[in-house]
Amino acid sequence: MNELTKAEEEIMQQLWELERAYVKEIIERLPEPKPAYTTVSTIVRILETKGFIDHKAFGKTHQYFPKVSKEDYRKFVTEKLMNGYFGNSVGEMVSFFVKEQQIDLGEADEILKMIEQFKNKN
């Protein structure tokens, strides 16, 4: 799997939410200023070439749908982040976010509860 560009990820976010969509429907959901139809169409074709989406043809128009789930892509990106910046250590990653104040005490407590639940299952 390859990492998506910002523009590709923006299109994928819409397709993951819509599940199936025509280019016009994707554009309607994008923030202002809206990109040109040809721009979005080109990005969609790139995503199809990369294997992230597929289409069903209805005459001359195409309805697109994701082939890669949001969960699978999230896992890929998270693993890449952990391997590339945190030595494959969840502890290092959480420590970084705590130090940068990206995680408050309530969220830290939730993380600890999840860890305890996981430990109790195994």
Please tell me the distance from the alpha carbon of residue 71 to that of residue 48, in angstroms, as a whole number: 18
Query: What's the predicted TM-score (pTM) here?
Result: 0.80
Kindly state the tokens that stand for 58: 């209805």
DSSP-derived secondary structure for 46-101: HHHHTTSEEEEEETTEEEEEESS-HHHHHHHHHHHHHHHHSTT-HHHHHHHHHHTT
Domain with CATH 1.10.10.10 in the chain: 6-66
* Options 3.30.365.10, 3.30.43.10, 1.10.10.10, 3.40.640.10; CATH of 6-66: 1.10.10.10
Say how many C-beta atoms besides its own lie within 10 A of residue 67's C-beta.
14
pLDDT per residue as tens digits for the range 32-86: 999 999 999 999 999 999 999 999 999 999 999 999 999 999 999 988 988 999 8
